[in-house]
Structure 1
């Protein structure tokens, strides 16, 4: 009871507090299965990314290798063409030299007075006496007789005592170098020298034969 004349006392009401259930405020426990799924997804994504990176790297490397191989192939083709060209040039030069040498050889044979391909010294002599000296079969017969007696038509015949050499038995053999330097082995050179010698000394092969028959030499 309030005394008379005392001030009135006001009582403030305490507001009601809404209490949140303890179960609501507590943290929610992590779900292991969700975390495992997340980890698996992340790992799968990482694996996919790594596969993509490797695939891209392989593609780039393959492209580079292909480009390098193309460059190498082009270089090989170029080198091969250069080699073929050089070989063709060398072959052409070799052929040209061979043809020039053959032409020179044929000209030399023609100048000596016999046909290309003749290898028999007697036939060679018959043609040379006819073409270079204008001798007929009678003079060739005399020439043939002398050479048979001197060397037996042996291009390399050499007299053991005097050193006379070749078909006409030139003494010394080097005298025949006045015709050509191949006097040791070329029957044409020896024939030409012999015919010239017979003509200048005896007038003809038959004149040389007549002297030989009387003197035993010419």
Structure 2
């Protein structure tokens, strides 16, 4: 037992000595050591390299995909915004055009209305002028210009120039039918009586107008005047003709 204790104490002393020796050796300067060079402070604005960190392929791929998706969405949003702006500008333009069209439409409607009123006024003035001319011609000739039927000319002349009605016209027509059968150029070969009323001579009708040879109106006016001045009226002339065979 004593022997084991002595051996243990001896081992402990040896260990203690070794530790002390080691500490002494660390604190001694007999073996020189090289210190790391001091890191100089970076000047302002000077590039300071960053220690490279190895990339993570999966994270890099996710970031790239996200960036690409965001870029596409931004492009689509920009295109949509541009399209919407263009549509808005077109709408504004169409609205402006629409207002201009409405304004022009109103102007055109006003112009059409004014032109219509002017045309109607011109038409009314033309009709009034025609009526005035027709009335003047009737007052002068006794019948409506353009009338070609000889019997109708006679009816109008007896009404307009002599204020005769249908009864006097009937008597006048009765005499003219027997005298000339309404032939403007009828001429009696033996006596030389001429025209509708068989004026003798025919030149007597020149007292009405110089166109007595061919104008039925001139001959009718002369015949009606003759019947009125000699017998009082066509019907009175008819009564005389019926009794005497002439008038």
Runs of 5+ consecutive residues of structure 1 not aligned to the other structure? 1-8, 18-23, 132-136
Aligned match of 2:221: 192
Q: Return the alpha-carbon distance in structure 1 between the equivalents of residues 193 and 120 of structure 2.
A: 46
Aligned to 1:178: 209
Q: Is 2:49 the partner of 1:29?
A: no
Q: In the alignment, which residue of structure 1 is the partner of 2:158?
A: 125
Q: Which structure would you say has the larger Rg?
A: 2
Contact 2:138/2:160 (<8 A) preserved: no
Cross-structure match for 1:83: 112
TM-score by length of 1: 0.57
Equivalent pairs, count? 181
| Cα offsets for 1:27-70 (capped at 9, x unmatched) | 32352012101110111011111101111111101210221132
Bigger drift between 83-92 and 55-64 goes to 83-92
1:66 counterpart (89, 95, 115):
95
Q: Any conservation in 2 of the 1:195–1:205 contact (CA below 8 Å)?
A: no
CA distance in 2, matches of 1:64, 1:15: 81
Contact conserved, 1:113 with 1:127, CA < 8 A, in 2? yes
Structure number with the bigger relative contact order (C-alpha 8 A, sep ≥ 6) is: 1
Check 1:67–1:126 CA distance in 2 against 1; reply closer, same or farther (3 A cut): closer
Q: CA deviation at 1:130?
A: 5.8
Q: Classify 1:51/1:169 alpha carbon distance in 2 versus 1 (closer, same or farther; 3 Å).
A: farther
Deviations 1:184-209 (A, max 9, x none): 465xx54322234x37xx96257988
Q: What stretches of structure 2 of length at least 5 have no aligned partner? A: 1-28, 38-50, 144-151
Q: TM-score, normalised by structure 2?
A: 0.51
CA distance 1:177–1:57, shift in 2 (3 Å): farther
Q: Is the partner of 2:62 in helix, strand or coil? A: helix
Is residue 15 of structure 1 aligned with residue 35 of structure 2?
yes
Return the offset for 1:149.
2.0
